[in-house]
């Protein structure tokens, strides 16, 4: 069976770094359109202007999906970590309940009595 050991602080540190890179990417994408427009105007060439316009139109959807995927990955990491932590808490509660139930059962009481007598 696989062993999991997720450290929420480690997940948080990674997400903070990812968020920083995502913000840098977003800033670059904001200037991307303006830079393409500037290049088109600076070229003073209809074929270049047209090609740059086509390139920008073809790129916009891909770039938007890229930022959306980053956001979805961050959200998925948060949800998975929370599910892991909630599962750990639930397993601990189940184990504790089971231990209490065994301790209160006739077998558990017999085992406890034998242990007190040094026989368990």
All structural domains of the chain with their residue ranges: 8-116
Mean pLDDT within 21-30 = 92
Q: What is the pLDDT of residue 46?
A: 95
Q: Residues 6 or more apart from 71 whose CB is under 8 A from it?
A: 22
Regarding predicted confidence, which is higher, 90 or 28?
A: 28
Question: Please, what is the average pLDDT of the chain?
Answer: 83
User: What are the tens digits of pLDDT across the range 54-113?
Assistant: 999 999 889 889 989 999 999 999 998 888 888 877 777 777 777 666 656 565 555 555
Q: How confident is the model at residue 114 (pLDDT cuts 50, 70, 90)?
A: low
Tokens 């480690």, located at residue: 10
């Amino acid at each position: 069976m696989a062993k999991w050991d997720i450290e929420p602080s480690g997940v948080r540190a990674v997400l903070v770094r990812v968020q920083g890179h995502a913000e840098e990417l977003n800033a670059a994408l904001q200037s991307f359109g303006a830079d393409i427009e500037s290049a088109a105007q600076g070229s003073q060439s209809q074929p270049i202007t047209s090609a740059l316009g086509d390139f920008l139109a073809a790129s916009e959807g891909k770039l938007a999906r890229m930022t959306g995927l980053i956001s979805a990955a961050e959200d998925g990491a948060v949800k998975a970590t929370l599910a892991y932590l909630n599962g750990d808490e639930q397993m601990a509660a189940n184990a504790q309940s089971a231990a209490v139930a065994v301790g209160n059962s006739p077998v558990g009481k017999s085992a406890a009595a034998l242990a007190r007598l040094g026989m368990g």
